[in-house]
Structure 1
């Protein structure tokens, strides 16, 4: 797994069709001018001392202990759940959630907690002030409940809550995050979800060492890519960029990169990260956007694979997820990596995967094989403007022809009428 992210990346990626309005909205969200579901938690000691933050994009206001959402979220509608859960439900698998804590009082999480967990800041491990960790945990392992179509992608998995930040008197940083990773490994966790990145996108020695030790011990770390991608520029984020980490971008309903999702050669796969319904503290559900909620979607699928194939290494689970993703091209690109995750495809392939994904083979024209059609990252803004202009021009031309044709018809009718009147007189 050490060489998992050292492979070369395809440079033939295309623009993901980011909308101008979305760019503006993303800038507003990043600068704090738009409402967010919870305030981003920056380390109190700042980036110079290894600060960390978790990424939330703009969303509607959320009320803890509120109502549930009755309908089934689109992120679950895109999956044949009966077929998926006919193969695995995550039973017997524990996922460590390193976050702001998880409030197990939510009815959909009360049966999902693996003990009391541990806090590396003040307060109890399962106390969640911001609600971020409770959302993350719900996407992984929320239990089904009457009255709502939402449940976790691995509804029988267990959650080990490791609270590295979100304290009332102390906020965490990369130091407490590293401690949480080390503790997760000491507890035998094989899947670790981290929906956070370091402030100012800075590398950090202790965090890097903790990740490397976890990978060496066979743990699969699934990390969010970050939400600072509205400008489309590439940038490394941590811990997602470290070797052996499965870095997850956010995709939208069209299986394209969500406008806020951080781009970079480190991105491995994408998963739904827009309008993500999940559990909140004290009860109820809310929806929010962010790579923070794409990562646990992938961690849930990893839990399903771990149940079905307990002997697989972390690198094999990651490879299966990457190789069965809906690829944008032969290989990965910097926007959605190897593609948008396909949970059913990942669980349905029982062949033994390798330890790293490989690009699709090149099929030459005339070789007897099928040459796949090129797939773009979505319609660009320029292409959309040209298409709109063509529609407007075509509609205008049609109206001109209709008006002109109507004028000729009226003229001919009048001529015939006048002729008939002259002959009678």
Structure 2
């Protein structure tokens, strides 16, 4: 296992996939296993018959456009961009769709599992916020920019909390949407993204939570394994939010009385696909002070953390260059959904700067350069808060030098001719000999002087 074992109010906390939750109790579970033979086939995105039953999410524009958002300042992205901007990378965003926006000039339609679209419609506003954090280009009119502003986004709409399926039956007037998207369509979307030409990173800000011991979708596990191991793609997933309906039951923190116990022995809730630790970089959320956010779901699979509060990103309702929002449906934007794209953007920065690194090496570099908590790995923030600047510059054990330096054999110069010290040595020896003779003469005179002094003393005393 990677990590320690190898060893909105929340306006928009995240998109929870449809699953059934039972009573959560702590049980000892092994890390997930993968059956590669269960990977779904790559087919054109398609979904069930759906309809829009609720109004699309509303947003409010940012007041101070010049202000650099707190997460961007905390990660010191200004110091990273002279070294890497993510150029040449394509990040697949599997989410609620991404609206076309002037700050995402390279947006690629990837398909729609929710409705009859191409992936560039976002009624929920969630996917556009995620994509903006990853790759919104820089603009002199605003302080906000994405982590990897020259990367491209592939948008695949896979879920929505506002659409609902229709099956021909007449519904009660005013019935709200139940949401569209499940682990089956997520698996299909991952396979589709993995086979899309040029994709090097996949961001999944969606979580399905199930009680420990209830099992998981073999198809989903096979899909993330296919993307990470076969297609060499960095797969980043949100750890999940405790305040979402699907993930209310938290896993317990480490027991100080049993410091060496495996955290897999006390799991109550599985958050998927985050729990596929060997294939996925699972990201928790921290507050501006670096402390774990109260809503972040802990677990033995959490690898790193990133800012998940005070979020500003692209406004799906205002596509102009200054179209930014930090409020959806009247509430602030926060959640592990928005911590994950900071890590995904960092992965794009690394892959652009070090194209020779494979997906595993990129994930290891993010973990090894994170700001580790005082007690080492922990289930809330993993190996610590990501540091994009360190991730693209630090010397990481076993990794290629970040500066691309090569060892070069150099000729050893001839040793210089040693100086002739013989005259000096003779002179020093001579002086030493004379000093020795004088010393011996002085010592020999001591008994005679003492005797004469004694004799003189006895005569005067009579």
Residue in structure 2 matched with residue 297 of structure 1 by the alignment: 342
Higher helix share: 1
2:354 alignment partner, one of 300, 309, 319: 309
SS in 2 for 1:269: strand
CA contact (8 A) 2:99 2:121 kept: yes
Whether 2:310 is the aligned partner of 1:275: answer yes
Whether 2:190 is the aligned partner of 1:181: answer yes
2:224 alignment partner, one of 211, 229, 237: 211
What does residue range 326-405 of structure 1 map to in structure 2 within 5 Å?
326-329=371-374, 331-351=376-396, 353=398
SS in 1 for 2:284: strand
Please identify runs of 4+ aligned residues in structure 1 that moved more than 6 A.
none
Question: Offset at 1:233?
Answer: 3.2
CA contact (8 A) 1:64 1:282 kept: yes
What does residue range 129-278 of structure 1 map to in structure 2 within 5 Å?
129-166=123-160, 168-170=163-165, 171-188=180-197, 189-200=199-210, 203-217=216-230, 218-228=232-242, 233-234=251-252, 235-242=269-276, 243-278=278-313
CA-atom RMSD in angstroms: 2.7
Residues in 1 aligned to 2:390 and 2:137: alpha-carbon distance in whole angstroms? 23
SS in 2 for 1:152: coil
SS in 2 for 1:221: strand
Residue 254 to residue 6, structure 1, CA distance change in 2 (3 Å)? closer
CA contact (8 A) 1:178 1:206 kept: yes
Residue 290 to residue 38, structure 1, CA distance change in 2 (3 Å)? closer
Higher strand share: 2
The 10-residue stretch of structure 1 (205-214 or 151-160) with the greater mean CA deviation from structure 2: 205-214
Residue segments in structure 1 that go unaligned for 5+ positions in a row: 10-28, 49-61, 356-425
Residue in structure 2 matched with residue 82 of structure 1 by the alignment: 78
Residue in structure 2 matched with residue 123 of structure 1 by the alignment: 116
CA contact (8 A) 1:99 1:165 kept: yes
SS in 2 for 1:307: helix
Question: Offset at 1:330?
Answer: 6.0
Residues in 1 aligned to 2:158 and 2:249: alpha-carbon distance in whole angstroms? 30
The 10-residue stretch of structure 1 (166-175 or 320-329) with the greater mean CA deviation from structure 2: 166-175
Residue in structure 2 matched with residue 384 of structure 1 by the alignment: none
Question: Offset at 1:116?
Answer: 1.8
Cα deviation, 1:257-295, whole Å, max 9, x if unaligned, reads 011101111110000001111112132322211000000
Residues in 2 aligned to 1:320 and 1:180: alpha-carbon distance in whole angstroms? 27
Cα deviation, 1:146-195, whole Å, max 9, x if unaligned, reads 43211101100000001111274541111111111001111142210000
Residue 231 to residue 216, structure 1, CA distance change in 2 (3 Å)? closer
Residue in structure 2 matched with residue 7 of structure 1 by the alignment: 5
Cα deviation, 1:96-133, whole Å, max 9, x if unaligned, reads 000000001x2222x131x2221122132110010100
Residue 158 to residue 256, structure 1, CA distance change in 2 (3 Å)? same
Residues in 2 aligned to 1:84 and 1:93: alpha-carbon distance in whole angstroms? 16
Whether 2:80 is the aligned partner of 1:99: answer no
Residue in structure 2 matched with residue 409 of structure 1 by the alignment: none
Cα deviation, 1:39-95, whole Å, max 9, x if unaligned, reads 85553x8669xxxxxxxxxxxxx7437456411101111233332011100011000
Residue segments in structure 2 that go unaligned for 5+ positions in a row: 23-56, 166-179, 253-268, 327-332, 401-462
Residues in 2 aligned to 1:332 and 1:40: alpha-carbon distance in whole angstroms? 27
CA contact (8 A) 2:13 2:241 kept: no
Q: Which entry has the higher C-alpha Rg, 1 or 2? A: 2
* TM-score (normalizing by structure 2): 0.63
Residue 345 to residue 42, structure 1, CA distance change in 2 (3 Å)? closer
Residue 353 to residue 223, structure 1, CA distance change in 2 (3 Å)? farther
